[in-house]
Amino acid sequence: MSEPFDFESFIAGTNLPRFEVPLYGVVHQRRIDELDAQIEAASVDDTTLGDVRESSIDTRPDLTAERDRLHAEQEASARMVELRALSADEFSEVANDTTKDILDQIVAQSKGTRNEADRDQWGKVKAAALPGAWTLFVARANEILEQTLVMPDFSLNGSKTPR
């Protein structure tokens, strides 16, 4: 017969996943996305066109070189921040409280990491960051929440019509 389930040891042993999230000093993401679209549009199946070597100029090498240069510059400017997934309780607290905003979420995600900070400190980071850099940072923080498993709350609600 197995031993009874030890709730405290299970809870204490839970390690939430941690992720490195870039906070960029230089943001070229819009141009990188435009170049990706142009490269995609210029990428045509050569077998359907026949021999077009003399009638067209392949712009893909120049577009790719520019995209790669901009991407490298953006990545070189990155300062890595450690964020973590949220527990079910933390997620519920941030998601269900209308007085909480993205700064509260980032505070919760940085708790216990190497760059733990309070709301005022994260507010200063937001104020100092380029708008595009902050947007990319928040998008990655949200992606962490969406892609990490959060235990749903299956408790009965008080409504006659459960939603």
Instruction: Please state, in angstroms and rounded to a whole number, the distance separating the CA atoms of residues 75 and 29.
Output: 11
How does DSSP classify residue 20? E
CA 115 to chain centre: 17
* Three-state secondary structure call for residue 152: coil
- pTM for this prediction: 0.72
**What sections of 13-148 are H helices per DSSP?**
29-42, 46-49, 60-76, 88-96, 102-110, 119-128, 131-147
Give me the tens of pLDDT residue by residue for the chain, a chain 163 residues long. 567 777 776 666 567 889 999 999 999 999 999 999 999 988 865 555 555 555 668 889 999 999 999 999 999 999 999 999 998 888 889 989 999 999 999 999 999 999 999 999 999 999 999 999 999 999 999 999 888 765 555 556 555 555 5
